[in-house]
Structure 1
Amino acid sequence: MLKGLFSNTREKGSFYEQLALSYLKRQGLIFEAKNYYCRYGEIDLIMRDGNKMVFIEVKYRKYKGFGGAVAALSYTKQQRLRRSIHQYLTDHQLHNAEVRVDFVAIEGQNPPNIQWIKSVF
């Protein structure tokens, strides 16, 4: 179904981030921002869950081999994400905000399986 649909990796990432965003909105989260870039890295999605700021990493894998999408949240990626979150909070003067970091793993196609993991670190 999706073979040949994307001309590059960025388009594919954007498609699955939008899929995750739609899913999370249906779960009651409120959209704040997406694709926040800073010198430390990128935050895929930023949302609110009640009074909490929720920073979300989205990963897609076509197959579950090698641990699937869940295994893609490496220690190095977590460190970059932590620094990026700190930078976002500083830039937006949200020093006292309640924060949660979630992970959305998307695997397969027709239909893709979406796994939402709250408070990954």
Structure 2
Amino acid sequence: MVAERSQRGSAVEAAAEQHLQQAGLQPRARNVRYRGGELDLVMDDAGTVVFVEVRYRARSDFGGGAASVDARKCRRLAHAAQLFLQDNPTLANAPCRFDVVDATGEPPQLRWLRDAFRLDDC
């Protein structure tokens, strides 16, 4: 079951990345792990560093995947983003934003939430 969930997560992340690329974003990194947080996708949108959280739910009864990005998850993403920028000093002064790709159903229907939250929200 864990392997199946991992495979589904990877497939949904790949679909989200492709969706964002079709919208003009360029990939920078995928599944960047730090102690205390992970960045699913890091993309470039015309010079803006975009940290993307991909959330999948089989059903939207409880608000879909985007509803699961709570304050705790927001803080973890913000921390991981700060570490990513420290590891990539050429991006340190670039504008940044946090997007969420909400995937629901089978096959997953993708919904891209640009600028889903800001560091001030965390």
**In structure 2, how many angstroms separate the alpha carbons of the residues matched to 1:68 and 1:102?**
15
Deviation at 1:74, TM superposition (A): 1.1
Deviation at 1:103, TM superposition (A): 0.3
Deviation at 1:79, TM superposition (A): 0.4
**Aligned to 2:66, what secondary structure does the other structure show?**
helix
Asked if 1:115 corresponds to 2:111, the answer is: yes
Q: 1:66 aligns with which of 56, 62, 87?
A: 62
Q: 2:98 aligns with which of 96, 101, 104?
A: 101
Q: Tell me, which stretches of 5 or more residues in structure 1 are unaligned? A: none
Deviation at 1:56, TM superposition (A): 0.1
Q: 2:78 aligns with which of 75, 79, 82?
A: 82
Deviation at 1:7, TM superposition (A): 3.4
Residues 57-94 of structure 1, C-alpha deviations (whole Å, 9 max, x = no match): 00010101111112111111000000000000001113
Residues 84-121 of structure 1, C-alpha deviations (whole Å, 9 max, x = no match): 000000011132111011000000114x2110001111
**Aligned to 1:119, what secondary structure does the other structure show?**
strand
**Aligned to 1:78, what secondary structure does the other structure show?**
helix
**In structure 2, how many angstroms separate the alpha carbons of the residues matched to 1:12 and 1:42?**
17
**In structure 1, how many angstroms separate the alpha carbons of the residues matched to 2:44 and 2:33?**
19
* Equivalent residue pairs, number: 116
**In structure 2, how many angstroms separate the alpha carbons of the residues matched to 1:9 and 1:120?**
25
More helix by share: 2
Asked if 1:41 corresponds to 2:37, the answer is: yes
CA RMSD of aligned residues (A): 1.4
Q: Tell me, which stretches of 5 or more residues in structure 2 are unaligned? A: 118-122
**Aligned to 2:92, what secondary structure does the other structure show?**
coil
